[in-house]
Amino acid sequence: MILLERHGQSRDTIIGIAYFCVGVIFESFMDASAKWVSTSYSLPQILFFRAAFALIPLAILIWILRDSSWRVVGNVKLQLLRAVLMGLVFCTYVVSLRYLSLVEVLALFLTFPFFMVLVSRVFLKERVPAAVWVSLIVGFFGALVVINPKFNHTGTIFIFPLLAALICAFVLATTKVLIRTVSALSITVWGSIMLLICSGLLAPFYWSSIDPADVVPLVLTGIFGGLAALFITISLRHADLKSIAPFQYTSLIWTTILGLVIWNDYPSYATWFGVAVIIAAGMIILKLDHDRSL
C-alpha cells in the first residue's frame, strides 16, 4: 500500500512538471511579445492588454469544457493579493526589458528558482532535499552558459529583474495555497479579472494611440500570458514548488529555439552544451522523485 501511494505521488509530480514545462513555453512566447511593445506603450496600457486578452483562451476553455468551477472565487483577499503581485511581476519585468537586453534580464530573472525554493521552505514548510539545491546550481550554471551575459549597463536597473523573480516566487506560493480549495481555472480567471480592473483604473491616464502593427503582439501577450498562468497553476495541484523550480531553466531552451526560427540566430556549441546541462538538472529532480517512490 505504501509503495503504491509513493508511486502515485511520483506520477503526480511528473504530471505537475509536464504542466509547468508547457506553461514555461507559453511564458517564453509572452516575453517575446511583451519585449516587442515594451518601449512603445505605458506599463498600465500593456498590463491592460495582458489581462484583457488572457480571458479569451480561458473563456473558450470554459465553453468547451462546460466548466463552472471558475465561479467559485475562494479566498477573495488572497486572490486579490495574488493579482496585485502578478501585476508587480509583469511591470518590473517589462521595465527590465526596456533598459536591459533580453539576455541580461533572463540571466537575472533565472534567480527565480532559488527564490521559489526558499519561499517553499520558509512559508510553505516544504522539505527541500540536497539534490534539489544541486539541481538548481547545475541548471543555473547551464543557463549562464547559454545566455553568456555581459552586463554592460550600470546602476540600479538590475534590481528590477531580481525583484520580478522574488515577487514571482510569492505569486506561486499564494497560488499553491489557493489551489487547495479552488480550481486552477478559478484562480486564473479571477486573477485576470482583478488584474484587468486594477490596470483599467490606471490605463486611461497613460493611454497612447496604438500602432496597427503592434496590435498582434499586444493581443498575443495576453493570450500567451493567460495560457501560461493556467498551465503553471494546474502544475501546482500536482507538484510542490521545490519539484518544479529547476524546470524554469527550460525557458532558455525555448528562447534559443525562438532565436533560431524567428531571427535565424543559430546557437553556438556553448549554447547546446548549456541546454544539455539544463536538461541534466531536470533529470536530477526526476531521478530523485523516482527513487523516493521505490
Q: How far is CA 182 from CA 41, 77, 174, 176, 283, in A?
A: 35, 14, 12, 10, 31
Res 209 pLDDT > 60: yes
Length of the chain: 294
All three cell numbers of 199: 490596470
**88-109 pLDDT, tens per residue?**
998 898 888 777 766 667 767 8
Is the pTM here over 0.85, yes or no?
A: no
Give the pLDDT score at 250.
81
- Determine the Cα–Cα distance for residues 143 and 114; give it in Å rounded to an integer: 13
Q: Span 224-242, mean pLDDT?
A: 92
Q: Where are the domains of the chain?
A: 2-129+152-240
Look at 120 and 22; give whichever has higher pLDDT.
Answer: 22
Asked if pLDDT for residue 7 goes beyond 60, the answer is no
SS3 38: coil
Has residue 277 got a pLDDT over 80? no
| Per-residue pLDDT at 6 | 45
Q: What is the mean pLDDT of the chain?
A: 81
**Minimal CA–CA distance to 232: which of 158, 178, 151?**
178
pLDDT-derived band of residue 5, with 50, 70 and 90 as boundaries? very low
CA distance 24 to 21: 5
**Percent of the residues in the chain that have a pLDDT greater than 90, as a whole number:** 38
Residues 181-204: tens digit of each pLDDT: 999 999 999 999 999 998 999 899
Give the number of other CB atoms < 10 A from CB of residue 154.
7
Say yes or no to pLDDT of 231 above 80: yes
Q: Which residues contact 145 (CB under 8 A, 6 or more apart)?
A: 270, 271, 273, 274, 277
Whether 189 contacts 68, CB under 8 Å:
no
Alpha helices in the chain (DSSP H): 2-37, 43-65, 76-99, 102-109, 112-122, 130-147, 159-178, 184-202, 215-238, 241-244, 251-263, 269-293
In the 8-state DSSP scheme, what is residue 267? P
60-64, 68-72, 271-275: which has the minimum mean pLDDT? 271-275
CB atoms near residue 66 (< 10 Å): 6
Q: What are phi and psi of 92, to 5 degrees?
A: -65, -35
> So what's the pLDDT on residue 283?
65
Backbone angles phi, psi at 62, to 5 degrees: -60, -40
Position 3 scores a pLDDT of 38
- What does the pLDDT read at residue 269? 66
